[in-house]
Amino acid sequence: MTESTSETRRRVIVAGAGLTGLAALVAACGGGSESAGSSQAAGTGGAEAGSGGASGGGSGGASGAIARTADIPVGGGRVFQDRQVVIVQPTEGQFKAYDALCTHQGCPVDRVADGAIICPCHNSRFSVADGSPQQGPATQPLAERQITVTGDEITLS
């Protein structure tokens, strides 16, 4: 084997190893981590203690209510993973709902804190007021979901 053939083979092997590492990095960033936190529901009202940590079932029952108004803190909200919805209360008495899948790569958001809906996969943050992205990498707002508030019950419309 000549010196140039040996050098060429070495370069091909090194380049192949580099591409394999790059492919693994891309897969880790864009694929496997997307299910992180998917079985968990959480919610907080920013500084309000004790307003989160629910297991996503809501107040349920025969009425079909996903939550009670008292379950949703002012300025915060709760994630209901089983329904793939986030319910928030931006201001007293104003309730909104958004799709619980991040618009960046479809990872489920997992909590509401400090006025933001947070995606654990790449730390995108969305406003509780209108679902708009406050911090990327997401650039699109969360899709709004329709809810109905009747008395103290919140149901998906």
Domain holding 145, by residue range, is 35-156
Domain count, the chain: 2
The CATH number of the domain holding residue 152 is 2.102.10.10
Q: For the whole model, what pTM was predicted?
A: 0.62
Residues 21, 85, single domain; the answer is no
Residues 65, 85, single domain; the answer is yes
Residues 78, 94, single domain; the answer is yes
Residues 24, 53, single domain; the answer is no
Closest CA to 133 of 117, 113, 122: 117
For residue 37, is pLDDT > 90?
Answer: no
How is residue 70 annotated by DSSP?
G
Q: What is the pLDDT of residue 116?
A: 93
Residues 112, 84, single domain; the answer is yes
For residue 45, is pLDDT > 70?
Answer: no
Q: What is the pLDDT of residue 108?
A: 92
Mean pLDDT score, 47-74: 59
Surface-to-core class of residue 77, CB atoms within 10 Å of its CB (0-12 exposed, 13-18 middle, 19+ buried): buried
Residues 66, 111, single domain; the answer is yes
Separation of alpha carbons 32 and 21, rounded Å:
16
